[in-house]
């Protein structure tokens, strides 16, 4: 008969939030001398292998945790010395004067990072610190995912580490469990305790790393406009890194009306812009990947950050600030604060929910939640007024191509001065001036889809065909590798998928799960003269986009087993 193994603390996910928590906890335990046991579960084969982010980050929280981070070899690609906010037409680019865009978009002095390298570095720091703290036994497990939350008497008791547990050895129990994942497992905690009244909304980030012929280190661009000129919220980014490498990516919101959005294709269209072509011409694609981002902000936060036996951090909590384009420092601050609260509780031997409440109180008093509250209407501003994305941005982009972006904006105002003035004042009041309209409530992303939507067509400028990659070819650069039997996407009802396919095909469209997949997973097969949903799971890069855009809520992406999936190291 096997013995139940229980830790004082279990951290689900090798995320920046959880690794910051682990390191800070070790620092505190080194001083207190309190004996404790800790485990970290990372579903990827290595710490960092399932991490992808655009990553330009303010180092203020990093400096709190590791004041000597530079001496410790923290992996910095560059320090931003040239920050730009630009509008792209189809052919030209306009770098806005700093006075015309929010200060939050000025990233001068921020660190340009490869987050997979940062995460791997953080894990090494935890391992090295553990050598100094013999009173803490800490186990770091890679290739182990949390597949199911174990609830006992209304309390989180731990997780199962295989999908179909058969013995006690398939579980990891803990007195406290911290969740820092992107919703793979933490959503079950939120659902079980009914923590969220306003749903989370999501974007997907698609990203490539290129080896270039020029040095762009320290140069940063964030862009609006091309190719998102059909009303979808989002934008692009280009970050210069060391060794003549450059990051090119897009963040695209999944509340789009377009059922055939195809984020990977949007990234290729972005790369066709003459400005980006001038950067990557003659270069070489090194890596490709994608991940979803929680962008609902303040009103999508759970009502409670702690529950009996557990707490939520980072992306599981949803602390990304879209207006500030900032999430890494906020995730790490969650971990830093949680470490103090958890250490005090463990020292006292108090494993009650009440012992964790200071975590929420302290986080609400930190810059993380205060700034989230200040910017609470940023996404809503673009939802309540379609003209901002459907009319104003496209027309300004047209002005960029004509060589007169400011004149184009003036003409836009003159075409309907009363409406334009009202819209401008309303948007400014919500985003910058602190106007309060009370709580707002989002609807799930898939509910925004308009099946009959037809995106406008634009004539593309000339581009080098060798710089553009099909979706099947892009998967190669995500380095996917799966063990046999990894069936990690559930299709709940095959008949529901068949009806969905018929509905969209009757409109001349493919289904959102096929169109919006960032790899080449979902497909429509003809079997016995019937159109059926099929999946090539060996291509999956584990982004969860299909699940979020499924009009019938008929898919669920689960953690893989044995470290299977993409390898985003270096992305």
Domain ranges of the chain: 6-70+115-199+297-374, 78-114+200-294, 378-439, 478-557
The dihedrals phi and psi of 566, each to the nearest 5 degrees, come to -75, 165
Locate tokens 């060798």: which residue? 466
pLDDT digits (tens, 9 = 90+) for 97-130: 988 888 889 999 999 999 999 999 999 999 999 9
Q: Please check whether the domain covering 6-70+115-199+297-374 is classified as CATH 3.50.50.60.
A: yes
Q: What is the 3-state secondary structure (H, E, C) of 218-273?
A: CEEEEEEECCCCCCCCEEEEEEECCCCEEEEEEEEECCCCCCCCCHHHHHHHHHCC
DSSP per-residue letters across 372-391: HHHTTTHHHHHHH-HHIIII
Q: Helix H segments across 139-256? A: 186-192
Q: Which residues contact 36 (CB under 8 A, 6 or more apart)?
A: 8, 9, 29, 135, 136, 137, 346
pLDDT of 75 over the 80 cut:
yes
In whole angstroms, give the CA distance from residue 495 to residue 531.
Answer: 10
Residue 267 reports pLDDT greater than 50: yes
Q: What is the pLDDT of residues 354-374, one digit of tens each?
A: 999 999 999 999 999 999 999
Mean pLDDT of 278-283: 96
Q: What is the DSSP letter of 306?
A: E
- The neighbour count for residue 284, using CB atoms within 10 Å, is 13
pLDDT computed for residue 214 by the predictor: 96
Tokens of 21: 């928590």
pLDDT range class, residue 1, cuts 50, 70, 90: very low
State the average pLDDT over residues 177-193: 96
The mean per-residue pLDDT over the stretch 493-514 comes to 97
Distance between CA atoms of residues 222 and 157, nearest Å: 43
Q: What is the mean pLDDT of the chain?
A: 95
Backbone angles phi, psi at 38, to 5 degrees: -140, 145
Give the model's pLDDT for residue 151.
Answer: 97
Instruction: Please give the Cα distance from 424 to 57 (Å, whole number).
Output: 30
Pair 71, 440: CB distance under 8 Å: no
Does residue 415 register a pLDDT over 70?
A: no
Strands 6-12 and 36-42 turn out to be: parallel
pLDDT at 408 > cutoff 70:
no
Residues in the chain: 571
Distance CA 130, CA 134 (A): 7
Residue 82, beta-bridge partner list: 219
Q: Would you tell me how many other CB atoms lie within 10 Å of the CB of residue 106?
A: 16
Contact 7, 37 (CB under 8 A): yes
The residue behind tokens 């910017």 is: 375
Return the CATH architecture of domain 78-114+200-294: 2-Layer Sandwich (3.30)
Average the pLDDT over 501-524 and give the result.
Answer: 97
The per-residue pLDDT for range 8-33, each reduced to its tens digit, is 999 999 999 999 999 999 999 999 99
Question: Of 482, 558, 551, which is closest to residue 513 (Cα–Cα)?
Answer: 551
Burial class (CB in 10 A: 0-12, 13-18, 19+), 166: exposed
6-70+115-199+297-374 shares its CATH topology with 478-557: no
Distance (Å) of CA 72 to CA 69, 76, 126, 208: 5, 11, 12, 28
- Position 414 scores a pLDDT of 56
258-281 mean pLDDT:
97
Average pLDDT for residues 174-191, to the nearest whole number? 96
Q: What separation, in Å, do the N-terminal and C-terminal C-alpha atoms of the chain show?
A: 44
- Domain 478-557, CATH class in plain words: alpha beta
Q: Is the pLDDT of residue 407 over 80?
A: no
The reported pLDDT for the residue numbered 101 is 84
The answer to whether the CB of 85 falls within 8 A of the CB of 105 is yes
Q: What pLDDT is attached to residue 416?
A: 74
């Amino acid at each position: 008969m096997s013995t139940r193994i229980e830790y004082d603390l279990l951290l689900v996910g090798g995320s920046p939030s959880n690794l910051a928590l682990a390191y800070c906890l070790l620092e505190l335990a080194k001083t207190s001398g309190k004996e404790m046991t800790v485990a970290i579960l990372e579903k990827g084969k290595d710490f960092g292998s399932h991490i992808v982010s655009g990553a330009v980050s303010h180092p203020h929280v990093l400096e709190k945790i590791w004041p000597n981070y530079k001496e410790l070899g923290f992996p910095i690609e560059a320090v931003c010395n040239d920050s730009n906010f630009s509008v792209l037409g189809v052919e030209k680019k306009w770098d806005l004067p700093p006075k015309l865009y929010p200060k939050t978009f000025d990233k001068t002095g921020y660190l340009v990072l490869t987050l997979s390298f940062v995460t791997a570095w953080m894990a090494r720091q935890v391992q090295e610190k553990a050598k100094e703290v013999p009173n803490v036994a800490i186990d770091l497990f890679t290739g182990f995912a949390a597949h199911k939350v174990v609830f006992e008497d209304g309390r989180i008791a731990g997780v199962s580490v295989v999908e179909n547990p058969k013995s006690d050895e398939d579980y990891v129990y803990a007195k406290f469990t911290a969740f820092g994942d992107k919703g793979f497992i933490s959503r079950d905690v939120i659902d079980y305790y009914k923590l969220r009244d306003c749903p989370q909304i999501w974007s997907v980030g698609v990203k490539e790393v290129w080896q270039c012929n020029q040095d762009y280190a320290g140069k940063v661009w964030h862009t609006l406009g091309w190719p998102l000129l059909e009303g979808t919220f989002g934008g692009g980014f280009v970050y210069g890194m060391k060794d003549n490498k450059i990051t090119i990516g897009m963040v695209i919101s999944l509340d789009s009306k377009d059922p055939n959005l195809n984020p990977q294709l949007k990234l290729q269209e972005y790369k066709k812009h003459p400005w980006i072509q001038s950067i990557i011409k003659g270069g070489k694609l090194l890596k490709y990947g994608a991940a979803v981002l929680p962008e609902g902000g303040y009103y999508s936060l759970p009502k409670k950050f702690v529950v009996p036996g557990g707490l939520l951090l980072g992306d599981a909590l949803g602390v990304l600030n879209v207006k500030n384009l900032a999430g890494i420092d906020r995730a790490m601050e969650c971990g830093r604060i949680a470490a103090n609260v958890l250490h005090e509780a463990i020292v006292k031997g108090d494993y009650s929910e009440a012992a964790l409440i200071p975590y929420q109180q302290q986080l609400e008093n930190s810059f993380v939640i205060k700034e989230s509250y200040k910017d609470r209407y940023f996404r809503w501003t673009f939802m309540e007024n379609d003209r901002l994305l459907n009319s104003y941005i496209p027309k300004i982009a047209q002005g960029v191509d004509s060589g007169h972006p400011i004149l184009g904006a003036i003409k836009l105002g003159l075409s309907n001065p009363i409406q334009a003035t009202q819209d401008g004042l309303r948007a400014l009041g919500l985003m910058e001036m602190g106007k309060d309209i009370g709580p707002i409530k989002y609807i799930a992303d898939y509910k925004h889809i308009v099946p009959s939507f037809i995106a406008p067509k634009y004539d593309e400028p000339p581009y080098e065909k060798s710089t553009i990659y099909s979706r099947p070819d892009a998967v190669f650069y995500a380095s996917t590798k799966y063990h046999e039997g990894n069936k990690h996407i559930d299709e709940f009802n095959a008949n529901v998928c068949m009806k969905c396919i018929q509905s969209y095909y009757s409109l001349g469209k493919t289904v959102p799960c096929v169109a919006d997949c960032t790899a080449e997973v979902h497909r429509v097969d003809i079997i016995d003269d019937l159109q059926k949903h099929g999946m090539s799971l060996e291509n999956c890069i584990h982004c969860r986009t299909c699940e979020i855009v499924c009009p019938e809520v008929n898919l669920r992406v689960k953690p893989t087993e044995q470290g299977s999936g993409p390898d985003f190291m270096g992305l």
